[in-house]
Amino acid sequence: MKLNSLHVLLTYRCNYECDHCFVWGSPQQSGVFTLEQLEEVFQQALAAGYIDEFYFEGGESFVYYPVLVKAVTRAHNLGFATSVVTNGYWATNKDDARTWLECLVHAGLDRLEISCDPFHGETAVSPLNHAAIQVAQDMLLNAGLIALTDPAEVMYRGRAAINLVNGQPRSPWHSFTACPHEDLADPQRIHLDPFGYLHLCQGLVMGNVWERPLADILADYDPQTYPIVRELLAGGPAQLVTTYQLTHDPGYVDACHLCYTARKTLRDQFASVLAPDQMYGVIGD
């Protein structure tokens, strides 16, 4: 397995509730890593032997800013590269942005990524003029933008599969014969949420690190026999429909739209693989 990067969903909570959000982030969502849990993850990553990078994201990572700073500090001190993904709500001007970023730079942050585009519902500033990007550049911090400018760039999973599909052009369901976005056979990076779930794709998990060590989960992963993954590798989302004889619409916006819809239908049958509730729009405690 070529996995070298863990993307930690520090929390499912977010100050926004964007229509294109993969993880259904919102102010009502729950789930946040404790410092003790983060330390356990770092130790499991060290034991696995080939993780060299941690991304901290969400939800919105800055909602629990003290935990975020501690996480970056600890990961950096252990020798991991560190990155943070944020919507940048805190960067209302350059002075404020600098105040927020100083602690993270001092902690050893290597890269900042700002998710900022019209789908966030914000009209204040264009991404290129974002105060956080400008200040990061002033501080010589590697920084970049995650910016969608067209509905065609959206991956229609999570909330997008519910809120953004109406009126979009569709293709026949049987045309979606491959997963175009995730390397399910040999992932380079996976997401880890506060409940311990390791996500190959948001809502498609390969195990839980609170139940089994990360190294064991990775060593035992066989994509050709793993439920849901084996069908996706054999024939994409269309294979899920065929194998499990699922009721379906004539067409879908993209492969993610069909895959997410099919997986929602199969959750009762594959509860340990299609988890947690948060990834499927259920507000958890």
pLDDT tens digit sequence for 112-122: 999 887 776 55
Q: Which residue has the tokens 């404020």?
A: 96
**Cα–Cα distance, 233 to 34 (Å, whole number):** 35
Please answer whether residues 120 and 91 qualify as being in contact, where contact means their C-beta atoms are separated by less than 8 angstroms.
no
Q: Which pLDDT band, with edges at 50, 70 and 90, does 126 fall under? A: low
> Helices 65-77 & 94-107, crossing angle to 10 degrees?
40
Segments making up each domain of the chain, as ranges: 5-86+150-164+188-221+274-280
Residue 93 above 50 pLDDT? yes
- Class of domain 5-86+150-164+188-221+274-280 (CATH, top level): alpha beta
Task: Report residue 191: phi and psi, to 5°.
Answer: -100, 145
Residue 22 above 80 pLDDT? yes
The pLDDT, as a whole number, for residue 116 is 81
